[in-house]
A and B are shown apart, each in its own frame.
Chain A
Amino acid sequence: MVAGDIVLTGLMAVLLVGVAALLTRVENWRSYTPLAGGGAVTGDETAVINREKPAGIIRWLTTVDHKDIGLLYGVYAVIAFAVGGIMAMLIRLQLVTPAGAILSNNAYNSILTSHGITMLFLFGTPIIAAFANYFIPLLIGADDMAFPRINAIAFWLLPPAALLIWAGFFLAPVTDNMIEPARTAWTMYTPLSVEQANPGVDLMLLGLHLSGVAATMGAINFIATIFTERNEEVNWANLDIFSWTILTQSALILFAFPLLGSAIVMLLLDRNLQTTFFAVEGGGPLLWQHLFWFFGHPEVYILVLPPMGLVSLILPKFSGRKLFGFKFVVYSTLAIGVLSFGVWAHHMFSTGMDPRLRASFMAVSLAIAIPSAVKTFNWITTMWNGRLRLTTPMLFCIGFVSNFIIGGVTGVFLASIPVDLILHDTYYVVGHFHYIVMGAIGFAAFAGIYYWFPIFTGRMYQRTLGKAHFWFSMVGTNITFFAMLALGYLGMPRRYATYQFDGAIAPLTQVSTFHQAATVGALILFIGQLFFVWNIVQSWLEGPKVEDGDPWNLERDGMLDREFQWFEEQLEADSPEKDPSLLADGGQEEQNDS
């Protein structure tokens, strides 16, 4: 132990000296010019600035530009999506046979836990932050975010968060299984999560806490940006729909994530310092469920509102019509935001809580269907009689609406107490929320990536590969998650690593068949994502350069938004024939006459 401490002290000392040395190399601590409030450097300093950003890796490690940070978020989220997706494939392959095909029960539980946390906290929240960082300042005509440095801090908290959440997988082989991956499921219910002595659970909780701190810092930044940094032409009446959803989402984050952080600290204290917040003699195990779902249900809307905003922004562009009932889409966003804090106990109907309380939560949960349906009908009426152009982003938007209807309607049934008591903790719940998180949120993220691909890469993606990606994803999603709905009706409980039941509990043959169908669907989905990765990487490197600032021909319908106008200005500034002295940020001078 003493030797370990000395080694650790040495390591930390080397790290700190290294950091200090690096900082003195790149930064002169005495040369600072006061620029509180993020104002530009003035006066004779202009002689010093020859470029916007340093070159190479230092640019990415030190950037406080919202567009760079948006790209960092995007790359991070796509990597997390790949990790979470591989975990999902392992889960599906395991369940091909009732006895489990490839994993031990412990490994299955670890992967199941990490899949959920990875997808929600390391893919879902960051991919939304990626779009918001890159495009909110452009859409509202701001120079940058209100707090550019806090923006960078929020991003840089995420890589350590991911390493901590996955720490058990890396540390188990080197610590002789002393530190293992957490096996608490993403909900971390007590008493299970208090009693698992494994230090990997502590590391996972710390990682989750850091990701919560990051999300809160980001939310404060978006609220301040949308309130204070708007261009004088942008007012509340003509604020775009994506900014409205990000504003609402940020408000939800502001109330929900600090609560998750506090609950996690309480859980850590229970685990390490013998407090009794969630012990029977203290607050009781159910207190965790209340605190967790008071965060957890708004989290669902934190994840789905901005994707709804993306669809509301993109779908009209390829329908040739303005968003139908814009005002009501905004009102429904705000209504969902408010109602989302009054539904948390619908996750707890089967815990034996007071039936009168239960009924009130059922009423509010059912009421959320109304604003959600308002949005759905508005998307459909936007397309009605429109001049539809089935580009890849449009296909993903339509896929979103279709999957959202199935995911939403199955949710209405679950909100009803008697139905929930039967379907609770079955695959029906898993199918329902995967229709939303993959079928809707994932699809909207893809729509956003394809729609704005010309802006952030300056190139065009390959259309055929994009369409293949859509169709594989659509078919795969529906096979996988519809099979899960059927599994739920058959009584298959969720989270199990094996399912060798007594035939009296569930019809084993049908259960196996639907599990196999779900696995086939997952394989189709997986192949679709290979098209996506190939398309994005190859097109980014070699795709045809976009010459026109309006690649989607939006001007014809008068729907060219501010971000594409900005893009057009960048293209003009980058074009050396027009004015060689004007080189936009990140652009490289190219000699065409040689």
Chain B
Amino acid sequence: MAEEPGLSDQYPTASPWPLFVALGLALSEIGVFVGLFPVAVFGLILFGGSIAGILTESGYVERPWPTLLGVGVVLIILAAAFALWQVPVADIALSNVGTGPLFTRLVAVAAAGAVMIAMGGVASVMEQTAA
């Protein structure tokens, strides 16, 4: 390990992640429930990213990227399941984003999931090709 040690390697009783897990969860809740599209997307990304970070830091997983990808997949599946269950199939169209109260929220969740899959996927590939 040639790199400089990070904060939580230097200090056994410090971790930068809990603060951001909490902030991510708070922003996700506000975004999804109040219906603020950008807050929902960024909040969920922060939440998913921090989960990936905290699991890696505590040694439950080796690298953060597969976790990030996994959280993204779970969000997309959840959003799709809710859409199929609660939204009439005819209304599921990109042009309807911003009209139905539930549909727009689900699109926000799915968008956050897609971003996380993209980030996790690209970072995984880059890390493997760099190694």
Contacts and interface: CB of A to CB of B under 8 A. Distances in A.
Interface of A: 5, 8-9, 11-13, 15-16, 19-20, 22-23, 26-36, 38, 40-41, 45, 48-54, 58-59, 61-65, 68, 144, 148-150, 152-153, 155-157, 160-161, 164, 199, 202-203, 206, 209-210, 213, 268, 272-274, 585
A41 B102 contact: no
Contacts of B7: 26-27, 54, 58, 62
B10 to A, nearest CB: 6
B59 A36 contact: yes
Given A27-B6, A54-B7, A8 B38 contact: yes
A12 B38 contact: yes
Contact of B6 (A13, A29, A149): A29
Given A27-B53, A59-B14, 4 more contacts: A27-B16, A32-B59, A35-B59, A48-B10
B36 to A, nearest CB: 6
Closest 6 pairs (CB-CB, A-B): A28-B6, A34-B59, A152-B18, A156-B22, A12-B42, A160-B26
Contacts of A19: 20, 23, 46
Contact of B25 (A8, A22, A157, A272): A157
Nearest to B19: A156
Contacts of B42: 12-13, 15-16
B34 interface: yes
Given A23-B20, A38-B58, A31 B6 contact: yes
Given A8-B36, A148-B13, A272-B101, A206 B29 contact: yes
Interface of B: 1, 3-23, 25-27, 29-30, 33-39, 41-43, 45-46, 49, 53-54, 56-60, 62, 64, 101-102
A65 B13 contact: yes
A12 to B, nearest CB: 4
27 contacts: A12-B39, A23-B53, A28-B5, A29-B64, A31-B1, A31-B6, A32-B9, A33-B9, A33-B59, A36-B59, A41-B9, A41-B12, A49-B10, A62-B11, A62-B14, A62-B16, A64-B15, A149-B15, A153-B18, A155-B18, A155-B22, A156-B22, A156-B23, A160-B22, A203-B30, A273-B102, A585-B13
A152 B25 contact: no
Contacts of A209: 29
Given A19-B20, A31-B1, A149-B17, A36 B58 contact: yes
B98 to A, nearest CB: 9
Contacts of B9: 28, 31-33, 41, 45, 48
Contacts of B26: 157, 160-161, 164, 210
A150 B19 CA distance: 10
Contacts of A144: 13
Nearest to A50: B10
Contacts of B15: 62, 64, 148-149, 152
Given A12-B42, A23-B53, A63-B13, A152 B33 contact: no
Contacts of A150: 18
Contacts of B37: 5
A149 B9 CA distance: 14
Contacts of B62: 34
A2 B29 CA distance: 21
B30 A149 contact: no
Contacts of B35: 272
B11 A49 contact: yes
Contacts of B23: 19, 156, 160
Contacts of A274: 101
A65 to B, nearest CB: 4
Contacts of A160: 22-23, 26
Nearest to A7: B38
Contacts of B33: 202, 206, 268, 272
Nearest to B7: A26
A48 B8 CA distance: 11
A157 B42 CA distance: 17
Contacts of A32: 6, 8-9, 56-57, 59
Contacts of B60: 36
Contacts of B14: 53-54, 58-59, 62-64
B111 to A, nearest CB: 12
Contacts of A156: 18-19, 21-23
Contacts of B41: 12
Contact of B13 (A23, A64, A164, A199): A64
A566 B115 CA distance: 49
A210 B11 contact: no
Contacts of B38: 5, 8-9, 11-12
Nearest to A199: B34
A64 B46 contact: no
A301 B10 CA distance: 42
B31 to A, nearest CB: 9
Nearest to A217: B22
Contacts of A203: 30, 34
A199 B34 CA distance: 8
